[in-house]
Amino acid sequence: MTLPNFPAEIRAPQGTLPGVSSFQVHFADHDILTAGDAPDVLVAMNPAALRANLGDLPQGATIIVDTHDFTARNLTKAGYESNPLDLLGDANDPLGAFAVQPVDLTGMTVEAVKEFGLSRKDAARAKNMFALGLLSWMYGRPTEPTIAFLEKRFAKVEAIRDANITAFKAGWNFGETTEAFVVSYEIKPAPMAPGVYRNITGNLALAYGLVAGGVQSGLPVFLGSYPITPASDILHELSKHKAFGVTTLQAEDEIAGIGSAIGASFAGSLGVTTTSGPGIALKSEAIGLAVMTELPLVVIDVQRGGPSTGLPTKTEQADLLQAMYGRNGEAPVPIVAPQSPGDCFDAALEAARIAITYRTPVMLLSDGYLANGSEPWRIPEIVDLPKIDPAFATAEDLTEDGKFQPYARDAETLARPWAPPGIAGLEHRIGGIEKADITGNISYDPANHDLMVRTRQAKIDRIADSLPPLEVDDPSGPPGHGKAKVLVIGWGSTYGPIGAGVRRVRKAGHHVAQVHLRHLNPFPHDLGDILHRYDKVLVPEMNLGQLSLLLRGRYLIDAIGYNQINGMPLKAADLEHHILTHLTHLSEELRAN
């Protein structure tokens, strides 16, 4: 799994701490759930990169430093009074807790690729590949897949292609021939379920899930969207898939984006709009319009740090209450949240199912960690994907006297008929003013408004009837009947850190249960019963306790939050400590009683 971390500025100040970008990779010979808490190796290309990331490293970690850029100017910009590399091995060595390997990455790369006639600037760019070659040697990674990737990536420019491949091989050879790196590792293949795998980011998976939603429902997909970090890649990707009946519109603003999507849904397409928290604020009135008109719509919120512009390139989970209540009036909207980059595909397909089946806008809450992070994803078989029936209204839905009832309800779902324009006899009023039950005429009748508000809420509540039972991860026994007395519950991208933290606690000999929510509105029918079966319920979130608030209000339980809101994913070690603390408190309470 991977974790990109980069500044929001288009041209961040080079050589300064705010301008540092990083890319963290976690790989193993077994299944892993996060991009890792503390890297074992740091490759620092300049002083700012060293200083910005040093605090994340455990004692004994390896640091590979590109000595070329440790100039007096760069050291000053990074806040160093002197060069820490000059003190290696000294009694006052600030890096004494680490295994530091000074390497002239830039110089050796430029020398290795000089035969290709590149400028020094272009030649130096290949130092990333030198570093990758060195790390590939250190961890016994095969070279063939990387070389094949580079050949394909830079196929149009032979000199760039050959320079990158040469730099990669030079890095590998340096690791093999130098005696500085006395330890190398062999990572065996991880056991994986049979199938075809590819690497995928959350935004790419969301795009593919929307395409699949269109194919499985037989509907054209229309995306009306305005570019915004970190959701823009969905627009970029969907624009490539016209062959699957996908139409994309880069609108002039957020309101135009959702307005066009609602219009497309009225016309018989699967309307989609993508954005982040600030865009949801602008789209809120139009989401209410989709609630009132009862049209299918998928609203994707790739959450980022807020409020306002906030931290555009950092992750957060603080839009849950906005998704739940951020509209005027009683405007209930279903909420779906993916748990990993690959799971974004299934979440998008589920959001499309709910939107089409129940004739409602659906909010899909991803976040920056999922959007830009990646993991291996098993490509599903088409036959295993669910079919979605749009069940359009037809002339057969007219009453005996030839009238169309646009707000009549399906007995099971309470969804109203979906009647795109162009079919004789199915003409009906549309808009944001309250409609009369059954007829759809404009109505200001108080009793009718009360009925329609309650009916729209009941329709959303009916979605829970179609949800499978929650899966409780409790090896100690059935929920509430095993040895586990503490339940850890989460939603969205906290799935990986929570799962990794729970594994650590169990490995230490303790019992703890875990459950993760995909559906946040409505909650699954069995959630309340599960929560009441445990003595303590812990809720880790990247906000100040939004799910905790909802669970307390709905189920009257003392949900205990673990809340972090620093723009970075939760860490498994921190969660392990939090869980163990509450296990200790619970044991003390039981002894006292």
pLDDT digits (tens, 9 = 90+) for 396-416: 889 999 999 999 999 999 999
Looking at the structure, do residues 333 and 402 belong to the same domain, yes or no? no
Q: How far apart are CA 5 and CA 20, in angstroms?
A: 9
Looking at the structure, do residues 165 and 204 belong to the same domain, yes or no? no
pLDDT of the residue at 181: 84
**Higher local confidence (pLDDT), 183 or 250:** 250
Q: Give the gyration radius of the chain's Cα atoms.
A: 27
Domain containing 351 — which CATH number?
3.40.50.970
pLDDT of the residue at 12: 82
Looking at the structure, do residues 340 and 403 belong to the same domain, yes or no? no
Looking at the structure, do residues 491 and 426 belong to the same domain, yes or no? no
Looking at the structure, do residues 577 and 527 belong to the same domain, yes or no? yes
Residue range of the domain that includes 405: 391-466
Helices assigned H by DSSP within 294-384:
320-325, 343-358, 368-372
pLDDT of the residue at 180: 85
The CA–CA distances, whole Å, from 181 to 27, 100, 175, 178 equal 20, 10, 7, 7
What type of residue is 504?
Answer: R
Q: Has residue 194 been placed in a domain?
A: no
Q: How far apart are CA 25 and CA 374, in angstroms?
A: 9
Say if residue 593's pLDDT is above 80. Answer: no
Looking at the structure, do residues 150 and 28 belong to the same domain, yes or no? yes
Percent of the chain with pLDDT over 70: 100
pLDDT of the residue at 330: 98
pLDDT of the residue at 182: 73
Looking at the structure, do residues 29 and 106 belong to the same domain, yes or no? yes
Domain boundary among 466, 497, 520: 466
Q: Has residue 185 been placed in a domain?
A: no
Confidence bin at 347 (pLDDT 50/70/90): very high
Alpha carbon of residue 132 to chain centroid: 26
Percent of the chain with pLDDT over 90: 92
Looking at the structure, do residues 19 and 47 belong to the same domain, yes or no? yes
Confidence bin at 331 (pLDDT 50/70/90): very high
Confidence bin at 367 (pLDDT 50/70/90): very high
Q: Has residue 155 been placed in a domain?
A: yes
Q: Has residue 476 been placed in a domain?
A: no
Domain containing 39 — which CATH number?
3.40.920.10
Looking at the structure, do residues 231 and 347 belong to the same domain, yes or no? yes
Domain boundary among 177, 212, 227: 177
Q: Has residue 186 been placed in a domain?
A: no
Quote the mean pLDDT of the chain. Answer: 96
Q: Has residue 191 been placed in a domain?
A: no
Domain boundary among 384, 410, 425: 384
Give pLDDT tens digits for 251-283: 999 999 999 999 999 999 999 999 999 999 999
**Higher local confidence (pLDDT), 390 or 15:** 390
Say if residue 465's pLDDT is above 80. Answer: yes
Residues contacting 558, CB < 8 A, separation 6+:
536, 537, 552
Residues contacting 587, CB < 8 A, separation 6+:
none
pLDDT of the residue at 277: 98
Q: Has residue 425 been placed in a domain?
A: yes
Instruction: Work out how many domains the chain is built from and give that number.
Output: 4
Looking at the structure, do residues 230 and 365 belong to the same domain, yes or no? yes
Confidence bin at 590 (pLDDT 50/70/90): confident
Q: How far apart are CA 65 and CA 85, in angstroms?
A: 9
Query: Does an H or E element contain 301, and which?
Result: strand 297-303
Looking at the structure, do residues 438 and 323 belong to the same domain, yes or no? no
Q: Which of 140-144, 295-299, 449-453, 499-503 has the lowest average pLDDT?
A: 140-144
Give pLDDT tens digits for 531-563: 999 999 999 999 999 999 999 999 999 999 999
pLDDT of the residue at 384: 95
- Tell me the angle at which helices 158-177 and 127-138 cross, rounded to the nearest 10 degrees: 40
Confidence bin at 431 (pLDDT 50/70/90): very high
Neighbouring-strand partners of residue 43: 64
pLDDT of the residue at 536: 95
Looking at the structure, do residues 378 and 396 belong to the same domain, yes or no? no
* Region label for 403, one of left (φ > 0), alpha (ψ between -120 and 50) or beta (otherwise): beta
pLDDT of the residue at 480: 84
Give pLDDT tens digits for 147-168: 999 999 999 999 999 999 999 9
Give pLDDT tens digits for 78-130: 999 999 999 998 988 999 999 999 999 999 999 999 999 999 999 999 999 99
Say if residue 591's pLDDT is above 90. Answer: no
Across 428-453, average pLDDT:
96
Q: Has residue 471 been placed in a domain?
A: no
Domain containing 522 — which CATH number?
3.40.50.920
